[in-house]
Structures are given as structure tokens and as C-alpha cells.
A and B are shown apart, each in its own frame.
Chain A
Amino acid sequence: MTSTPLFKTLPGADALVRIWFNDEPMRVPGDGSVAAALLTAGVSRFRATPVSASPRAPYCMMGACFDCLVEIDGVPSRQSCMVTVREGMRVRAQEGARELPPVVAQSPEQSDDR
């Protein structure tokens, strides 16, 4: 899952925070993006594509390519390059298409439509 990082932090980087990636604890520079933090920690597989299940990692780092999708604190398919890393975040690889919440049986009278 993690390997020798291709990236290293510049001198004077932000203080470290603790996050989890796929239940593995890691200390990463705070206040950057989640994507930058994971890359610094040596994470190379952020997700697998829904169509071909190919592994993916961040590409554009600016919100355009959607290749850095991960689950953050239970919310699936977040663009990790667009989210600031925070102490205690629980991050998971986005393996394939996000799941939808289970269908809850609803009776027709309970409509809350506007």
C-alpha cells in the first residue's frame, strides 16, 4: 500500500498530523491537501476505476481529473486534492464506483417533497 515516497516535504513544512489510510495510522504534514499528504507518506494506489478496476493516483492535483478520489470520514468519492488534511481523518481508497445508501422502505404518505 505504501512504499518509499516519490515526494518529500520542503524545509519549513507544516506540523505533522495523524491520519489513517485504510486503517493504517500515519503522520503527515498538516494543512496541505489530503492528496499531498498521502503522496508524501508513500501511498501510490488511491483508488481503482469503476470501469476497468485499474489502479489510480493523483494526476492533476487541481480538481480537474478526478483521479485522486478517496473516501474521507465515510464520505465516498471525494477529490483528495481539494480537501485540506485534518488531524484524525479516516481515509480509505475508493475501490470502484461508490456505493449508494441502502433503500429504506417508504410509504407513499411520507412524502417530504417540496
Chain B
Amino acid sequence: MKHPAFASPDVLVVGGGLVGSSVAYGLAREGAKVTVLDQGDGGFRASRGNFGLVWIQGKGNGLTPYARWSRDSAVRWPMFATALAEETGVDVALRQPGGFHICFSEDELAARENRLSTLQRELGGDYPYQLLDAREVRERLPALGPAVVGASYTPMDGHVNPLKLLRALHAGMQRRGVRLVSGDDVLRIVPQEGGFAAHGTRDTWRAGKVVLAAGLGNCTLAPQVGLNAPVAPNRGQVLVSERVAPFLHYPTLNVRQTDEGTVQFGDSMEEAGFDDFTTTRVLADIARRGVRTFPFLKDVRLVRMWAALRVYSPDGFPIYDESTRCPGAFLVTCHSGVTLAAAHAMRIASWIAGAPIPDELPAFSGDRFGLAAPDADAISVPAH
């Protein structure tokens, strides 16, 4: 053993973003000894570029276990946030007042009705939502502009400060004994007697179990241990404003006001490969939609903009799997690392630690994509 100061861990988690850190934190709560291997600062990091929604509304069209899974995570979120605050002193600013999807045309509103009523029916009625007309939505959000014709609302949605979440997870897991190794990029994973060896750019790491939570890196790592992760980048761009007095007390899909007063604008989706730069055209569209939603923001100054890459599977749903060829190798990947953080810390971690597989999970096996190339029969349906 190269590191006598650290006894061999039970589990190696490859990836120290929101997904890997949530799983590692949960595993440590289960009593496991965990080492998290994280890339350096140059890695693509959806965890540091995302929009911060805990979003349920509209998710799971075509795969109802995803709706159940997401909602279960949202229900567990308050307990999760409280535990993080108690253990780390970091308040991740969780607010779950429900969220709005703002519509600018009758067609858009009809499409929302169709999507949400279908989900409600498939879930046996347990799926609260409201369709609001122009007058009704203004009673809830007085600052809306004249172009808004209505909105859908569900009480299930919320938001957090995602940067504080990542910080809380890192602090919480390390406080519970997790070793976080930064700057070692895992290139190869080899099954061996009694477990796995992960070969990084700096070192070799061994444990009985390995969890792939490497985001876009899962695509090449998964096949090395008999798993299938045909994930590809989907670019989102975000604008953030100066801090303004509180005016928006609910998250919407495109515009939200953060706990500290800035206003975020986002929700673009583009296939741009591994290019995580911003483009003026998309940012202008995002800004235009934001001002159309809340016209009095037109003079508010924008202070930063960025792009980040979502980790997108061909159907937009997560992939959760344990390898049949190499038992002890797990795959955890999704594009909603914030919404699903509670599920990852509480339910995925228990499963990896040895508890029975959660009921919803078999639907998320990577087997659904066959063993073909990532682009074969790809269905590009946004999952929200």
C-alpha cells in the first residue's frame, strides 16, 4: 500500500461533483470507508455551472419511475439539507415553495396541460399541479409581463444554492472520514481479485467496490467494468445579474432569484460537443425571454455569464446500474445532480452499501440502450 496513513477504503468513488459527493457522503453515513477521486480544476463541472433547481414538474414523461424517483428525492430534501446544516454549518438555502413554468402562447399552455395530466394519470392521480390563466398567474407573480398567457404550477418544486451544496457535501463527507483526492484523473479501471484497481494520472487506488460518478467521463470508464453509459454533453448557458431586492419568491424554469438576491436566467439546451463556451445568440435569447417574463428587469445589470455541460443520456433519464460481469462496480449518472442529491445520498448509497435495490431503480439500467454506440437510436427528449 502506497499510503500507509490511509487504510484501504471499502469504496472508491470516481468523481467528486454533486453526484459522487452525494453518494460518498451517504456511504460515509452508512459507515463505509470511502475515497473520492476527483479531477483537477480543468475538468468539466456541471456541479459548478448548474441552475440550482430542485425540479419535479414535467419530469418522467415516458418513464414514470423517473417521476417517482425525483419526487421522492424532493420529499427527502428538507431532511437532507437539515443534516448538512447540522454537520457542516453550511445552509444550502433550500426553498420548496413550488415552481412555475411560464407560457407565452396558448399552444405552450396546452402542451403543459397535456404533459402534466398524462403524468398525473400514469401516477394514479398523486401528482398535484395547477394550470393558471393570465389573470391567475399574475395574482401569484405580479411582476409578470404582458406577453405571459399563463403558467403551470406544482407545489413539488424548489431550489437551492448549488455552490453551497457542493461545499456542504465536501465538508460533510470529509468530516465523516471520506478522503477526497483532487487532481487525479482516473483513466483506467481494472477488475482484480477482491475488487478493483483505478489507475489515475498520479496514482493507483484499490477497493472492493467502485462507483462511477464521473459525469461525462463515465462514457469511457463504464465499459471497462461491464457497464454501459452512453452519456454525451448537452450545453446550458446561464446569465446572472447584480443583487436586487427580493421580488421573486418562487423558482421558475428559466428565471430564479437566488437566496442572496442575484437573478439567474437559463435553461438553454444545445448539442455542442465538449465546447463549454458561451455564445451571444443563445445568451441574447435567454435574456430576451427573461425580460419578456419580468419586464422590469430590463435595466438590471448582468454581471456574469457562463456555460456548462449537462451529462445527458440518450433518453435524458439517469443511469443506475451494478455490473453483472464485475459485481461491485456501480454506475450513477444523471443530469439532475441537485434534484437527485437527496436520493443519491440516502437511497443510492444504501443500495451500494448492501441494502436491497430501490424499487424504481431497475428501470434505469444502462441495458436499455443495448450495447450499441451512444448515438444509435438516440431519442433526444429533454427530461423536463
Of B147, B242, B297, which one neighbours A113 at CB under 8 angstroms?
A: B147
Measured between C-beta atoms, what is the minimum distance from B304 to chain A in Å? Answer: 11
Of A51, A98, A113, which one neighbours B245 at CB under 8 angstroms?
A: A98
Complex interface: chain A residues within 8 A of B292 (CB):
113
User: Complex: how many Å from CA A103 to CA B245?
Assistant: 13
Range for the number of chain B residues in contact with chain A = 20 to 34
Contacting chain A: which of B15-23, B26-34, B35-43, B138-146? B138-146
Range for the number of chain A residues in contact with chain B = 20 to 34
Of A50, A101, A109, which one neighbours B146 at CB under 8 angstroms?
A: A109
Are B260 and A51 neighbours in the complex by a CB distance under 8 Å? yes
Complex interface: chain B residues within 8 A of A97 (CB):
243-246, 261
Taking A50-B243, A98-B242 as contacts, is the C-beta distance between A108 and B300 under 8 angstroms?
A: no
Complex interface: chain A residues within 8 A of B300 (CB):
98, 100
CB-CB nearest in chain B for A66: B303
Of A77, A96, A109, A111, which one neighbours B301 at CB under 8 angstroms?
A: A77
Contact with A along B269-291 (1 / 0, CB 8 A): 00000000000000000001000
Q: Judge whether B134 is part of the interface by a CB distance below 8 angstroms.
A: yes
Q: Judge whether A110 is part of the interface by a CB distance below 8 angstroms.
A: yes
Q: Judge whether A106 is part of the interface by a CB distance below 8 angstroms.
A: yes
CB-CB nearest in chain B for A101: B296
- Judged by DSSP, the binding face of A is loop
User: Complex: how many Å from CA A112 to CA B295?
Assistant: 10
Q: Which residues of B, 124-157, contact A by the 8 Å Cβ criterion?
A: 134, 142-143, 145-149
User: Complex: how many Å from CA A99 to CA B261?
Assistant: 11
Are A111 and B243 neighbours in the complex by a CB distance under 8 Å? no
Are A77 and B297 neighbours in the complex by a CB distance under 8 Å? no
Are B244 and A100 neighbours in the complex by a CB distance under 8 Å? yes
Complex interface: chain B residues within 8 A of A110 (CB):
146
User: Complex: how many Å from CA A98 to CA B257?
Assistant: 14
Most buried by A among B147, B292, B297, B303: B147
Are A111 and B247 neighbours in the complex by a CB distance under 8 Å? no
Complex interface: chain B residues within 8 A of A106 (CB):
145-146, 295
CB-CB nearest in chain B for A102: B296
Measured between C-beta atoms, what is the minimum distance from A3 to chain B in Å? Answer: 27
CB-CB nearest in chain B for A49: B243
Are B143 and A103 neighbours in the complex by a CB distance under 8 Å? yes
Measured between C-beta atoms, what is the minimum distance from B261 to chain A in Å? Answer: 5
Measured between C-beta atoms, what is the minimum distance from B262 to chain A in Å? Answer: 9
Complex interface: chain A residues within 8 A of B243 (CB):
50-51, 77, 97-98
Taking A77-B301, A99-B245, A100-B245 as contacts, is the C-beta distance between A51 and B288 under 8 angstroms?
A: no
Contacts A106-B145, A113-B145 aside, 19 further interface pairs with beta carbons under 8 A come to A50-B243, A50-B260, A51-B243, A51-B260, A66-B303, A77-B242, A97-B245, A100-B300, A101-B296, A101-B299, A103-B296, A106-B146, A107-B146, A108-B134, A108-B149, A109-B146, A111-B146, A113-B292, A114-B288
A-B contact pairs, 25 of them (CB 8 A): A50-B243, A51-B243, A51-B260, A51-B261, A66-B303, A96-B245, A97-B244, A97-B261, A98-B244, A100-B143, A100-B244, A100-B247, A100-B296, A100-B297, A100-B300, A101-B296, A101-B299, A106-B146, A106-B295, A108-B146, A110-B146, A111-B145, A111-B147, A112-B146, A114-B288
Interface set of B (CB-CB < 8 Å, partner A): 134, 142-143, 145-149, 242-247, 260-261, 288, 292, 295-297, 299-301, 303
Which 7 pairs of residues, A with B, have the shortest CB-CB distance?
Answer: A50-B243, A106-B146, A97-B243, A111-B146, A97-B261, A113-B147, A111-B147
